[in-house]
Amino acid sequence: MRLPSRRLGLAIGAGILIALPAAFLLNRPSADRQYVAVTFTAADGSPLDWNRLRRRPIRPPVATPTPATPAPRAAPAPAPPPPRPTPPPPAPGSTQQALINQDRAQNGLPPLAWSACLANVAIQNAQRMAAQGYISHTNGPTLDLACGLGNNAGENVGYTSAGINDAQLNTMFMNSPGHRANILNPAYHYVGTAWAVGPNGYAYIAVEFS
């Protein structure tokens, strides 16, 4: 008696499909024993050598590593702007000094250089006048000579009732013969000036020459 066969599919190697009809051996008396023919065919219908097929190792699929994707490079940070150069400190001096040198230039005289020593004498005299409430000369020229800048010294003092005003005081000095003579004295080479405001709001100025 021939039993119908069932096909089982197995994947061997790379793309070979084995159609395997199952064979059944019937345990009946020897007289009735029958065999079922077993055939092995490839997917294209060609016969296969079973013994060779049994000896052929089944190679597991080889996994192909996926190349790692390099991480995108971050854009370089922009370079910080260079620091701005620090501006040089302003040259010592005063607005009154600039006006005096302007007057001297108009009369063909060289400018007067700023003297910190003369400026300290001017500060003392300006503060003294602001405290007393009126202008006066004391020992200004004597202190000017002590600065050691020359053998000549002079002093201009003045005030305004409306606070500090360099242009107004310079005009007043140039309109006064004695004060003008100090400003245009060719024997002077240095100057120092200072303002001080009194409790009454009046501004007092001292200008020291040497």
Cα-based distances in Å from 59 to 12, 63, 191: 9, 12, 106
Task: Give the angle 58-59-65 at the CA atoms, nearest 5°.
Answer: 160
Please tell me the pTM assigned to this model: 0.58
Among the residue ranges 32-46, 102-116, 195-209, the one predicted with the least confidence is 32-46
Highest mean pLDDT among 5-9, 77-81, 198-202: 198-202
pLDDT in tens, 120-129: 999 999 999 9
**Positions of E strands within 116-200:** 154-160, 190-197
pLDDT in tens, 146-202: 999 999 999 999 999 999 999 999 999 999 999 999 999 999 999 999 999 999 999
